[in-house]
A and B are shown apart, each in its own frame.
Chain A
Amino acid sequence: MPEAMTHMERGMAALSNEPVDRLLVSPLSMGVQRRLIGDGVTYRDWAHDPKMFARSFVEGYKAYDPDMAVGLMDLSVMAGDLGAHVRMDLENTPFVDEHIIHDPEDYEKLEVPDIRKGRSAVLLEGTKGFAEALKNDIICAGFIEGPLLALSQSAGAERLFMDMYTNPSAVHNALEVMTDYDAQMVEGFGKTGVAGLVWDYLWGNYSCLGDAEYNEFEVKYAKKLNKLTLDNGMAVCVHNCADMPHLKTQVKDYKTSIYSMAWYPLNPDSPSATKVIEDGYADNCIMAGNIDPQLFIRGSVEKITKVTSDLTKEVKAALCKRGLNSTFCISSGCEVPPDLTTKLENIGAVVDTVKKEGKLA
Chain B
Amino acid sequence: MSKEELYSRLSEAVVCGKTDVAKNGAQEALSLGFNAVETINEGLVKGMSIVGDRYAAHEVDLPQVLMSAQAMYSGLNILLPAIPKSEALDRKKCAVAVVEGDVHDIGKNIVKTMMTAGGYHVFDLGKDVPISTIVDAAEHEGLDAVAMSTLMTPTMDGMRDAIDGLVESGYRSKVIVTIGGPPTSPSFAEEIGADHRDENAQNCVTWLKEAL
Contacts and interface: CB of A to CB of B under 8 A. Distances in A.
Contact of B70 (A92, A162, A293): A162
Interface residues of B, number: 27
Q: Kindly state the interface size class of chain A when it binds its partner.
A: 35 or more
Interface stretch (B6-14, B29-37, B45-53, B58-66): B58-66
B104 interface: yes
Interface string A83-117: 00001010111011100000000000000000000
Contacts of B62: 161, 207-209
A360 interface: no
A119 to B, nearest CB: 18
Interface string A310-342: 000000000000000000000000000111000
B185 A209 contact: no
Contacts of B123: none
Given A95-B152, A293-B183, A266 B67 contact: no
Contacts, number: 71
B152 to A, nearest CB: 6
Contacts of A95: 102-104, 152
A183 to B, nearest CB: 26
B67 A165 contact: yes
A205 B167 CA distance: 38
B188 A298 contact: yes
B87 to A, nearest CB: 31
A283 B66 CA distance: 37
Given A161-B66, A266-B186, 7 more contacts: A158-B109, A161-B63, A206-B61, A213-B61, A293-B183, A294-B183, A294-B188
29 contacts: A89-B101, A92-B152, A92-B154, A95-B152, A96-B103, A157-B106, A158-B66, A158-B106, A161-B63, A162-B66, A162-B70, A165-B67, A206-B61, A209-B61, A209-B62, A209-B63, A213-B61, A213-B63, A241-B182, A243-B182, A264-B199, A267-B199, A294-B153, A294-B188, A297-B153, A298-B191, A337-B153, A338-B154, A339-B154
The 8 closest A-B pairs by CB, nearest first: A337-B153, A161-B63, A208-B62, A210-B61, A92-B154, A97-B103, A339-B154, A157-B106
Interface of A: 87, 89, 91-93, 95-97, 157-158, 161-162, 164-165, 206-210, 213, 241, 243-244, 264, 266-267, 269, 292-294, 297-298, 337-339
